[in-house]
Amino acid sequence: MRKAAALAAAAVVATAAAIAVRQRLREAKRWARVAAVLSDLQERCAAPAAQLLQVSDAMDVEMRAGLASEDGSKLKMLVTYVDSLPSGQAGKDIVAELNEAIKRQGLVMKVSTLVNDTVGTLAAGRYVDNDTVVAVILGTGTNAAYIEHAHAIPKWHGPLPMSGDMVINMEWGNFKSAHLPLTEFDQALDAESLNPGEQIYEKLTSGMYMGEIVRRILLQMAQEAALFGDNIPPKLEIPYILKTFHMLVMHHDASPDLETVGIKLKEIFEIESTSRKTRKLVVDVCKVI
């Protein structure tokens, strides 16, 4: 009797040990896959100095082409004719049309000036410091404007400003180059967007898209390596549910246990509990992007 009980107990222990070993192996394989995805992401997103120089050279070529002709480049290089900065004259035709539309709606209001945000930022900077020559917008979208010598704009055939300089609205969000660090996640986002093949630079760098890229990466990790457990959180499959602001909050979580990350994962994706290791991985993904 005692022998049978001992054998049964040994069998139970052996079974439990085998289950524990399988669980550890499964866990190890899961994290190995997650690490592989993260490593590949880090490699693809890397932008060493040599690559940045290639991107810079490619943009320079596009800029010159855009200044030469209206259809010569992906960069529109829009000429904003002003005699001095700031002038308040940008877009006056659009203002007239806008005021007519407002009047038709019976609204009692009048728009005096409508200015492109990037050009307006340059004008504001120039007003404070006359040495200001470039303005960059990094927000929901991205763009840049700068001051160019009028004689360096072959496509401009109108009157020259007294200053000899003109403001160029680059519309650089539409920049595209083989040297940009595009990942499979960027390519999928672009393909599923409302404007495939357009605004590639903007989709890589602006607030409209960064949170969505992180969501797509976490979703792949959940699908391929059960990052958040055996079941994929339903809300993790909802496009654009993760805002760039949320991503930044998680990225900057400096608490010892990364509590803020856990709170955000619960608030946004309804993921009830996560280990610190999982939360650290989320922070690493946010850091790469």
Res 3: pLDDT: 56
Q: Which two tokens stand for residue 19?
A: 């289950």
**Contact at 8 Å (CB) between 66 and 146?**
no
pLDDT at residue 23 greater than cutoff 70: no
Three-state DSSP class for residue 244: helix
**Contact at 8 Å (CB) between 289 and 247?**
yes
Res 215: pLDDT: 97
CA distance 264 to 276: 14
**Contact at 8 Å (CB) between 79 and 70?**
no
With tokens 């693809």, the residue in question is 44
Which pLDDT band holds residue 2 (cuts at 50, 70, 90)?
A: low
Res 194: pLDDT: 92
Write 103-111 long-range contacts (CB < 8 A, 24+).
none
pLDDT at residue 15 greater than cutoff 60: no
CA distance 92 to 90: 6
pLDDT at residue 81 greater than cutoff 70: no
pLDDT tens digits, 31-80: 888 888 899 889 989 889 999 999 999 999 999 999 999 888 999 999 98
**Contact at 8 Å (CB) between 271 and 265?**
yes
Identify the weakest region by mean pLDDT among 81-90, 164-173, 181-190, 266-275. 81-90
pLDDT tens digits, 194-220: 999 999 999 999 999 999 999 999 999
Q: Which two tokens stand for residue 124?
A: 């504001």
Which pLDDT band holds residue 91 (cuts at 50, 70, 90)?
A: very low
What residues does each domain of the chain span? Answer: 78-169, 209-289
For 173-179, what is the mean pLDDT? 95
Which pLDDT band holds residue 86 (cuts at 50, 70, 90)?
A: very low
Beta carbons within 8 Å of 225's beta carbon, 6+ residues apart: 30, 31, 33, 34, 37
Res 196: pLDDT: 95
**Contact at 8 Å (CB) between 289 and 213?**
yes
**Contact at 8 Å (CB) between 127 and 121?**
no
Q: Which two tokens stand for residue 160?
A: 């020259």
Three-state DSSP class for residue 287: helix
